[in-house]
Amino acid sequence: MTDKFIKEEKGKIWENRAMTIVIAGAIILMGLGGVLSNAFNVELFDWWLITLAIPFGFLAITAVRSYRDSGRVSMAVIVGMASLIVLYAVFSLGLSWSIAAPIYIIFGGLFVLESVWK
């Protein structure tokens, strides 16, 4: 192993740790905000909608890392992010499930196509 390779690997490890610490901090802050909101009966905004940001954030990080490492983003990650956006729109904007259900069927078709085009 060369020194350059070891330095690159250590850099990746620290980058992953730093990202994990940021994510953990954001999740803890959201939890604390929810506790304080419920304890003092203060409604800042819908905390349950913010919880959709957690999986979206993980998918976004996965997309960035995938693009950085291989130069492409998996269709599964893109469809996952789009699914969360549709779910957020249904809950926050009050859209009908009759609109969202066909969109999820389209996403299912995209997943099938993604398995063919790997």
Residue 8: exposed, middle, or buried by beta-carbon count in 10 A (0-12, 13-18, 19+)? exposed
Query: Could you give the maximum distance between any two Cα atoms of the chain, in Å?
Result: 58
Question: What's the pLDDT at 5?
Answer: 54
Question: What's the pLDDT at 21?
Answer: 82
Q: How many domains does the chain have?
A: 2
Asked whether residue 62 falls in the same domain as residue 102, the answer is yes
Q: Which domain holds residue 41?
A: 1-45
Q: What is the DSSP letter of 41?
A: T
Asked whether residue 13 falls in the same domain as residue 39, the answer is yes
Asked whether residue 70 falls in the same domain as residue 37, the answer is no
pLDDT band at 1 (very low <50, low <70, confident <90, very high): low
Asked whether residue 24 falls in the same domain as residue 58, the answer is no
Asked whether residue 59 falls in the same domain as residue 34, the answer is no
Summarised one tens digit per residue, pLDDT across range 14-40 is 666 777 788 788 778 877 877 877 788
Residue 97 is inside which H or E element, if any?
Answer: helix 97-116
Summarised one tens digit per residue, pLDDT across range 51-110 is 777 888 888 888 888 888 888 888 888 888 888 888 888 887 888 888 888 998 998 888
Asked whether residue 108 falls in the same domain as residue 68, the answer is yes
Q: Which residues contact 55 (CB under 8 A, 6 or more apart)?
A: 80, 84
Cβ atoms within 10 Å, residue 15: 11
Is a pLDDT exceeding 70 seen at residue 3? no
49 or 69, which is more confident: 69
